[in-house]
Structure 1
Amino acid sequence: MPTLYIVGTPIGNLEDLTPRAARILAEVSLVAAEDTRVTRRLLSHLGIRPRTTSFHQHNWREKMDGVLAELAEGDVALVTDAGMPGISDPGSELVVAAAEAGFNVEVVPGPSAVTAALALSGFSGDAFLFLGFLPRRKKDRLAALREASMSAVPLVLFEAPHRLRATLADLDTVFGGRQLAVCRELTKLHEEVFRGAAAQALEHFASPRGEVVLVVQGWQAEDSGQPGAGGENEVATELNLRQMLSDLKEDGVRAKDAVAAVAESTGLAKNRVYQAWVELGRESK
């Protein structure tokens, strides 16, 4: 039975491609690539010339049957421009379809911008919350950040250079002085890691270039570095809680679902979250 290989590719430095990935790319009958032009540069570097076809978020519906037909005749490799297919990149649809059709599906792990940035950030990597790319609209972006604002584990998110400053401004609004790491051009010649608060990052990145991964420190229940910070954190918690509930209420989410969602994302007791919901209702009357 032919196999669909999910192949991780370098996120910048071509030397990071694994020997197994290089072998698989040389052996398969077809490479389904997010952008064939990008993938051909990698294949040229390896000195191999397998057939390629485009498979991305804009054409996967039209390409699906053709790729599955190719898979019936021989092994196929699924790759994206950088990193692992299906992680904030196209590919998950093909994986599901291939598995449902009875084909073998194997992963060939490779570099990941998510874990690379988390390791560089210096924040604990025991657990983390991956947000991918935030919404383009400011209102939706702020809502997503507020919903994640009381996560006790670090937040990891991707951003394009032309939207970085807008996102940093929103991070400053929601997180204030909380520490973060802005990882730019990972594994490339001009790799850079900026550590500090969002407002400081805004000053530093006047004209950002290159792909960016941001890692935001998880919410700290106590700040032992400043006297009286516990009370300030309590106020911040209450404000964030009310904002999250208010956003959900505005979107028409039912009380039960809103309380459950906020309690799960923040770790707060449901009775406390429900009390805040009730108080919001009274204030709106």
Structure 2
Amino acid sequence: MSGGTACSTKNSEKIKENELNRIKHVIAIMSGKGGVGKTSITGLMAVGLAHQGYSVGILDGDITGPSIPKIFGIKKKPESFEFGFLPPESLLGIRIMSLNLLLPKEDDPVVWRGPLLAGTVKQFWTDVVWGDLDFLLVDLPPGTGDVPLTVMQSIPLDGIIIVSSPQDLAVMVVKKAIKMAGMLKIPVLGMVENMSYAVCPHCGRELRIFGPSRAEKVASETGVKLLGIIPIDPEFVELCDKGQIERYRNYNMFSDKAFLETLNFSNKKEGEGQ
């Protein structure tokens, strides 16, 4: 047990990015467990930033469960040339790289061990020509395993955003994710509680399907900033299933300029590097 802790806390050199890339901010989106909508929040955030006029990319680090291309309706393969891979773009110009775009069929399973998964994520950083980006969002797999560890140790992150839900189990593993980030000295920019409630279409009453919100309590206990609370919205689910997440307009707090102010990125001038 102690050996694992020592390994995870040791300092590791950041790997170099592709020489053609100029990426201002790199943010990882993380969850302690699966099923809380981490990929949905990554997609919403990318769409919100794109609507604000920022250039955005998504590195799909959830290698064994990649679903970013699905919610954006992207099936085009990345183009390969001498300097690396050119990621396909969404309707809003969001650049996306995912292993699912390299598989013969989108439902083919990825049955790989940890080192190979981690190595693929590194290649998405070094071998993909992202070009000029204001924000690169890294959609991490759930938990605190090999891939999240590799990303935190190898890629120069500005910070992570943690996604949770109101369930007690989700709250418990959020604290694990926060502690992992602390061990690796990665700033936790804030947390989002997803699927916090549903609105009855008949009376407008808020229904707490997964129990009462625990977001404010967790934020208070951990000292992590609560960025927002997002409800369950059947329209959002339908649009994601159709690959049309960019058409969604409700509850997208990431479209608000105040969102970046909470992350202290609003004082970065256009054209200014990291």
TM-score by length of 1: 0.30
Higher relative contact order (CA 8 A, sep 6+): 2
Tell me the TM-score normalized by structure 2.
0.30
Bigger share in helix: 1
Structure whose CA Rg is larger: 1
